[in-house]
Chains A and B, each alone.
Chain A
Amino acid sequence: MQQLDIPTRMMKMKGFIYRYFLEMVEERFGLTLVDTLVGKADLPSDGVYTHLGNYPYEEMLQLLDALSAETELPKESLLHAFGTYLFGRLNATHPEVIGLYESPVDLLKGLNDHIHFHVQNLYPEAALPKMEVREMGPGHLQVLYESSRGLYRLAHGLMEGVFSHFNIFVGIQFRLLEADGTIVQFELEYEPE
C-alpha cells in the first residue's frame, strides 16, 4: 500500500520488462516497427534498456501508445498479449524458479510472496504490483490485484500464461474496483486437478 503514495513519475520499471516488450514487438511485427517506436516515442533512454537497469514507467506508456497507434490495436489487448509473452520469457530464462512450483495456484501465490519479495530485495527501486490470491473452492480462484500502474491487463495475460504453462485451461473475468484499474478483482475458473 505504501507504493500508492509514490508519484507515478518517480516510479521505475525493470529494464528486462522493456527488453522483453521490444522483443515481442520485434517477434510479432518486425524490427522495423521496433525502430519506428523507438524513433517516435522520444524516450529519455533512447530505447537502450539493460536487464538490470530501472527506467521510468512513462517510457512503457509511451511505447505502448506508439505501438497501439502503429498497429491500430487497443492498448488493453496489447498489454494482455504482452502478459502472456512475458510469462513465456520468464519461464525460458528462469526455469529453475518456475519449476519449484507444482501448480499454477502455487506459482501465482509464490509470485507475490517469494519472487516479488526477492525482486524487491534486489531492486529496492522497483514498484511491484501486489497480488492477493484466494482459493474460493475447487477450480475457483480470486485474485485481488493492486498496482499503482493499473497494468492489470498485463497481469491478466501473465496469469493465463501461468495456467497454460501447466496445460490447464482457465477462464478469467475481472472487474475494476477502482475505475483507473489500480485495484482489480480477477475471478479465475479452471479445471481442478
Chain B
Amino acid sequence: MSRNKEKLEILKRALERERKAHQQTSEVLGEKLQEIRQLESKLAKASLKLEERAKSEEPWFHQSFQEILDPYIITDLDSNVQRMNLAAMAFFGYEGAPPPLRLFDLVHPEDLAYTRQSVQKLFELGAMRNYTARVRIASGAYRYIRVNGSVVYDAAGKPEVVHGIMRDITSEKELEQLIWRQRQQLDIIVDHSPLGIVLSEGAQILRCNVAFAKMLGYPQQEVIKKTISEISHPADYGQTKELYEAAKSDGSPTLTLEKRYLRQDGTSIWAKTHVSLIRDKHNEVKFDVAFIEDITQEKEMQRQISLYENRIATLVRNLRSGILFEDRTRHILYTNEAFKELFGIPVDIGQLIGMDCVAAIEASKVLFVDEDGFVQRVEEIVASQREYLGDELELKDGRTFRRDYTPVISEGEFQGHLWTYTDITTLKQHRQNLIKENEKYQRTISNMNIGLLEVDLEDRIEWANEQFCHLSGYNEDELLGKVALEVITVEKPAVFADKVALRKQGTSDSYEIRARHKNGQWRQWLISGAPRYNERGEVIGSIGMHLDVTEQRNHEKQLKALIREAERSNRELEEYAHVVSHDLKSPLRRIHTLVEWLKEGHREQMESEAVGYIDKIQSSLEGMDELIDKVLQYAGINGSQQNIEAFPLRQVVTNVYEKMDLPAGVTVEIADPMPELKAQRIHFQQLYQNLIGNAIAHNPSKNLQIRIGCQDKGKAFECFVSDNGVGIARDRQDKIFSIFHSSSNHYGHTGIGLSIVKKIVELYGGTITVESEEGAGSTFRFSLPKTLAV
C-alpha cells in the first residue's frame, strides 16, 4: 500500500511540475502576444511611412542607401537587382549605371545547389545569415561573398523584395585556405616524420604523431590518454623530471636527454629526446614539444662495442704472445705480461709504458744469435711500414721466436707499430719431428711391397707408390690424374665398379681381381680397399692396397694338383695291394691243401727227412699267408668316417689278448684307467694286436710280462705298451716302424706289424716312439689327441 502511495506521490509531484510549466508557458505566451501586437502596429506604421517616403522621397532613400559602407543590394524575388549602392557597384566593378543583373546568374556553378537551398530557407524563415558563395564580377573573376539578408514583405504580408548586405571575404577565405593548407602540410610533416613528435602540457600528452605511437606500439588514440610518467621507464623518470624542472626554472628553451620509454608490450626503447619548452608571454611554460629519436639500436651497438673492447683487452692481457704497441715515435703505448716474460724484463708494465724502443732494442739484442741482424731488421721493417708476418728469430738460449709486425693505420692515418712475439721453440721442434715422422712414413710406404693407390670420388688417381708402379708396370706419369680403369685393364670391370660404389658408402673390404700388367701379362691382384675421409669426415675417395698374388695362387694350384695326384695313386695302391693279396692267397691256399694231402696220403712212402721238409713248407706257407693278411691290413687303414663308434679302450685291449691264445708264461697287465674313445674300433684292435704280438714274437723266454696303460697328459693321452723282453738294439730303433724291417729272422713274424701301428697312430694325429735297451725290454709310447675322447 505504501508503495502505491509513494507512486502516487511521485505522480502528483510530476503533475504539479507540469501544471506550473503550463502556467509559466501561458504567461510567457500572453506577454509575447502582447509584444507582437504592439510590434505589429508599429511595423504597420513604419511600413506605411517607408512606403510613402519611398515614393515621395526617392532621392533621400537613395542617398541613405548609398551611405551604407558595405555593398547593399535590393533584388526582386528572382534575384534581379533593383538597386545597389556605390560600394556594391564598386564590388561588381561597374562605374556608372550597371547593366541588368540577375544574381543567380553570377553565382559560381558549384555553389548553385547550396544557393537554391539557402534561398528556399530564406523564404521560409524570412532571413538568411552568413550565406557564403562565389560570384562573378564584371572582370569575369569570382569573389567570395558573405551575405546577410532578409525578405521584405508588403503590407499584405506577401514577399516583395529581398535586400541584403554583402561582404567581400575573398581575401579572408584565401587566407583561411592558406592556413588550412599549411596546417595540412604541417600535419603531413608531423605524421610522416621518422622522429616521434609529442605535444604535452605538463605531464599530459595532448598530441603525438604516428611515428611516436609506432615506437611505443600503441594506437595513436591510446597514447593521447597517457601521461609522460606512464610511458617513461621508471629507472629514467626521476632523472627526466629533474632535468626538465631545471630547464623549466632556468629559462632554457630546449632540453636534450637520453631515456627509455615503455612500450605496450612491456619492452622498452632507448630514445634521444629533444624537448622544446614553449613559453607564454609571462615566460611560463605552457606546452612542451618533444622530438623523439629511437636509438635503441645505437645503444645496443655501443654496448656491443664496449663488450667487444673489454673482451679484446682481456684477450690481449692473457695472450700467450708478447704484444708490443709503439706510437709513431716508437715509444711504448701498450704491452702485456707475456712480452715481459719472453724478453725477461723485470719491471712492471706500468714502468714500460712510454719507454723509448729504439734504445730498448739495443739493450735486448744480446738475447739473439744474430744481434746486428735483429736490430737491422727492426729498422728495416719500421721504415717500410708494411706488414711482416712470420719472421723467425733464434735466441742464444736455444729458443726461437716468431715475430709479426703490423702497422696500425686507422682512418687513413698511421697510428703506430704493433709487434707480436711468440715463443715457437716447442712448436718448431714439434714441426721438425713431424716432418721426420712424415718422411719415415713416406719411406715405409714407398718401400712396402704393397702397391698403394689413392683415388678420388671419380676414381681419378691422386697418388700411387713405387710398388704399385712396379706391380702394374706403369710409371707415375702414366697414372696420376687418370681414371684408374682407363689405364689398367681388369678382367671384370663391373666388379671393380661395385667396389668403388661401396667405398663411397664408407665400406672397406678385400677382393681378388685379374688385372693386366703393362707388358700384357694377366696377374692376380688381391686388393684391400678403404674409403678416404677429409677432416670433416666426408668420403673423398678411396685407398687401395694391391698385392700381386699370382705366384701364390699358382703354387696353391700346383699343390692341389699334387694332392689330388697323391690321393689317386694311394687309392690305386690300395686297390693294387688288395688285388695282389687276393691273387696271391688263392694259389697259396691250393699249395697248402696239396702239401697237406701229400703229407697225409704219402707219409709211409716218404722218408722222415722228406716229411721234415714238407713241415717246413707248411710253416713257410702259414707265414706267407700271415704276411699277405698284414699287407691287406696296412693298405686298408684310412681315415674313412664310416664305422666311427664310441668304445672303452680297456675293453678293446682285453678282447685282443684274450683271443690271442697267449703262450704259457706270458702275462698282460692293464693299468687303470683307460679312456673311452670315439674312433674306428678295428684300428685300435689292430694296434694292440700288433704291439702285443710284437712283444711275444720277439721273446724267446717263457716269463714275459706285458704292461699296458694310458695317462692323461692334459692336451693329449699318452698310451704305452711295455715288456721285459729282449729289447731293441739302438741302431735299429729308428727302422722298426718302416715296413718290412723286422728285427728278427723269425718266420712267424712278418715285420709289417709296427708299420701298421705307426700308420694308425698318425692317422689319428698322434706320434709314436720307442724306448728300449738291448736285453732290458721295450716301451712303446704313442699319443692320442683329446679330441678322440668321448
A interface residue numbers (CB < 8 A to B): 19, 31-32, 34-35, 38, 46-53, 100, 106, 110, 113-114, 117-118, 121, 173, 175-176, 179
Q: Are A32 and B25 in contact (CB under 8 A)?
A: no
Docked CA distance A173–B121 (Å): 31
Q: Given contacts A114-B121, A173-B221, are A31 and B17 in contact (CB under 8 A)?
A: no
Q: Are B125 and A53 in contact (CB under 8 A)?
A: no
Q: Are A49 and B10 in contact (CB under 8 A)?
A: no
Q: Which of A35, A100, A173, A179 has the most CB of B within 10 A?
A: A35
Q: Are B25 and A175 in contact (CB under 8 A)?
A: no
A175 touches which one: B120, B130, B207 (CB < 8 A)?
Answer: B207
Q: Are B28 and A50 in contact (CB under 8 A)?
A: yes
Which residues of A are found within 8 Å of B13, using beta-carbon distances? Answer: 35, 38
| B20 within 8 Å of A (CB atoms) | yes
Q: Are A48 and B14 in contact (CB under 8 A)?
A: no
Q: How far is the CB of B420 from chain A (nearest CB, A)?
A: 66
Q: Given contacts A114-B125, A121-B127, A173-B221, are A51 and B14 in contact (CB under 8 A)?
A: no
Q: How far is the CB of B637 from chain A (nearest CB, A)?
A: 120
Which residues of B are found within 8 Å of A19, using beta-carbon distances? Answer: 21
Dominant secondary structure at the B interface: helix
Q: How far is the CB of B786 from chain A (nearest CB, A)?
A: 108
Q: Are A179 and B204 in contact (CB under 8 A)?
A: yes
Q: Are B224 and A175 in contact (CB under 8 A)?
A: yes
Q: How far is the CB of A20 from chain B (nearest CB, A)?
A: 13
Q: Are A46 and B25 in contact (CB under 8 A)?
A: no
Q: Are A50 and B130 in contact (CB under 8 A)?
A: no
Q: Are A34 and B130 in contact (CB under 8 A)?
A: no
Q: Given contacts A35-B10, A48-B17, are A100 and B224 in contact (CB under 8 A)?
A: no
10 smallest A-B Cβ distances: which pairs? A48-B20, A35-B10, A117-B129, A50-B25, A50-B21, A48-B17, A50-B24, A48-B21, A47-B17, A52-B28
For B17, the closest partner residue in chain A by CB is: A48
Q: Are A49 and B21 in contact (CB under 8 A)?
A: yes
Which residues of A are found within 8 Å of B127, using beta-carbon distances? Answer: 117-118, 121
Which residues of A are found within 8 Å of B224, using beta-carbon distances? Answer: 175
| B629 within 8 Å of A (CB atoms) | no
Q: How far is the CB of A170 from chain B (nearest CB, A)?
A: 17
Q: Are A100 and B121 in contact (CB under 8 A)?
A: yes
Name 26 interchain pairs, CB-CB below 8 A, sorted by A: A19-B21, A31-B11, A31-B14, A32-B10, A35-B10, A46-B17, A46-B20, A47-B17, A48-B17, A48-B20, A48-B24, A49-B21, A50-B24, A50-B25, A50-B28, A51-B25, A52-B25, A52-B29, A53-B24, A100-B120, A113-B130, A117-B129, A117-B130, A118-B125, A173-B221, A176-B206
Docked CA distance A53–B29 (Å): 11
Q: How far is the CB of A3 from chain B (nearest CB, A)?
A: 16
Docked CA distance A50–B24 (Å): 7
Q: How far is the CB of B56 from chain A (nearest CB, A)?
A: 32
A113 touches which one: B21, B25, B129, B201 (CB < 8 A)?
Answer: B129
| B117 within 8 Å of A (CB atoms) | yes
Which residues of A are found within 8 Å of B28, using beta-carbon distances? Answer: 50, 52-53
For B27, the closest partner residue in chain A by CB is: A50
Which residues of A are found within 8 Å of B25, using beta-carbon distances? Answer: 50-53
Which residues of A are found within 8 Å of B221, using beta-carbon distances? Answer: 173
Q: How far is the CB of A176 from chain B (nearest CB, A)?
A: 8
Which residues of B are found within 8 Å of A118, using beta-carbon distances? Answer: 125, 127
List 12 additional A-B contacts (Cβ < 8 Å) besides A35-B13, A100-B121, A179-B204. A35-B10, A35-B14, A48-B20, A50-B22, A50-B25, A52-B29, A110-B121, A113-B130, A114-B125, A114-B129, A175-B224, A176-B206
Q: How far is the CB of B400 from chain A (nearest CB, A)?
A: 79
Which residues of A are found within 8 Å of B207, using beta-carbon distances? Answer: 175
Which residues of B are found within 8 Å of A47, using beta-carbon distances? Answer: 17
Which residues of B are found within 8 Å of A35, using beta-carbon distances? Answer: 10, 13-14
Q: How far is the CB of B201 from chain A (nearest CB, A)?
A: 7
Docked CA distance A187–B314 (Å): 61
For A113, the closest partner residue in chain B by CB is: B130
Within 8 A of A (CB), among B95-130: 117, 120-121, 124-125, 127, 129-130
Q: Are A38 and B121 in contact (CB under 8 A)?
A: no
B10 touches which one: A31, A52, A110, A121 (CB < 8 A)?
Answer: A31
The proximity string for B residues 212-231 relative to A, scoring 1 for CB distances below 8 Å and 0 otherwise, is 00000000010010000000
Which residues of B are found within 8 Å of A46, using beta-carbon distances? Answer: 17, 20
Docked CA distance A114–B125 (Å): 9
Q: How far is the CB of A42 from chain B (nearest CB, A)?
A: 15
For A174, the closest partner residue in chain B by CB is: B221
Q: Are B11 and A38 in contact (CB under 8 A)?
A: no
Docked CA distance A118–B224 (Å): 38
Which residues of A are found within 8 Å of B121, using beta-carbon distances? Answer: 100, 110, 114
Q: How far is the CB of A193 from chain B (nearest CB, A)?
A: 14
Which residues of A are found within 8 Å of B130, using beta-carbon distances? Answer: 113, 117
For B130, the closest partner residue in chain A by CB is: A113
Q: Are B120 and A34 in contact (CB under 8 A)?
A: no
Q: Are B17 and A38 in contact (CB under 8 A)?
A: yes
Docked CA distance A52–B29 (Å): 9
Q: Which of A114, A121, A179 has the most CB of B within 10 A?
A: A114
Docked CA distance A31–B13 (Å): 10
Docked CA distance A173–B224 (Å): 13
Docked CA distance A175–B204 (Å): 14
For B131, the closest partner residue in chain A by CB is: A113
Which residues of B are found within 8 Å of A50, using beta-carbon distances? Answer: 21-22, 24-25, 28
Q: Are A179 and B20 in contact (CB under 8 A)?
A: no
Q: Are B21 and A106 in contact (CB under 8 A)?
A: no
Q: How far is the CB of B523 from chain A (nearest CB, A)?
A: 95
Q: Which of B10, B25, B224 has the most CB of A within 10 A?
A: B10
Docked CA distance A121–B130 (Å): 14
Q: Given contacts A52-B28, A100-B120, are A179 and B201 in contact (CB under 8 A)?
A: yes
Q: How far is the CB of A2 from chain B (nearest CB, A)?
A: 15
The proximity string for B residues 297-339 relative to A, scoring 1 for CB distances below 8 Å and 0 otherwise, is 0000000000000000000000000000000000000000000
Which residues of B are found within 8 Å of A53, using beta-carbon distances? Answer: 24-25, 28
For A177, the closest partner residue in chain B by CB is: B206
Q: How far is the CB of A68 from chain B (nearest CB, A)?
A: 20
Docked CA distance A175–B225 (Å): 10
Docked CA distance A53–B17 (Å): 14
Docked CA distance A52–B124 (Å): 21
For B207, the closest partner residue in chain A by CB is: A175
For B124, the closest partner residue in chain A by CB is: A100
Docked CA distance A51–B10 (Å): 22
Q: How far is the CB of A182 from chain B (nearest CB, A)?
A: 14
For A48, the closest partner residue in chain B by CB is: B20
Q: Are A34 and B14 in contact (CB under 8 A)?
A: yes
The proximity string for B residues 540-555 relative to A, scoring 1 for CB distances below 8 Å and 0 otherwise, is 0000000000000000
Which residues of A are found within 8 Å of B124, using beta-carbon distances? Answer: 100
Q: How far is the CB of B231 from chain A (nearest CB, A)?
A: 18
Docked CA distance A114–B131 (Å): 9
For B29, the closest partner residue in chain A by CB is: A52
Which residues of B are found within 8 Å of A49, using beta-carbon distances? Answer: 21
Docked CA distance A39–B14 (Å): 11
For A34, the closest partner residue in chain B by CB is: B14
Q: How far is the CB of A171 from chain B (nearest CB, A)?
A: 12
Docked CA distance A52–B25 (Å): 7
Q: How far is the CB of B614 from chain A (nearest CB, A)?
A: 156
Q: How far is the CB of B126 from chain A (nearest CB, A)?
A: 9
Within 8 A of A (CB), among B160-207: 201, 204, 206-207
Which residues of B are found within 8 Å of A121, using beta-carbon distances? Answer: 127
Docked CA distance A100–B117 (Å): 8
Docked CA distance A166–B120 (Å): 21
Q: Are A106 and B24 in contact (CB under 8 A)?
A: no
Docked CA distance A106–B24 (Å): 36
Docked CA distance A100–B120 (Å): 9
For B204, the closest partner residue in chain A by CB is: A179
Docked CA distance A41–B220 (Å): 39
Which residues of B are found within 8 Å of A48, using beta-carbon distances? Answer: 17, 20-21, 24
Which residues of B are found within 8 Å of A31, using beta-carbon distances? Answer: 10-11, 14
Docked CA distance A32–B14 (Å): 10
Which residues of B are found within 8 Å of A117, using beta-carbon distances? Answer: 127, 129-130
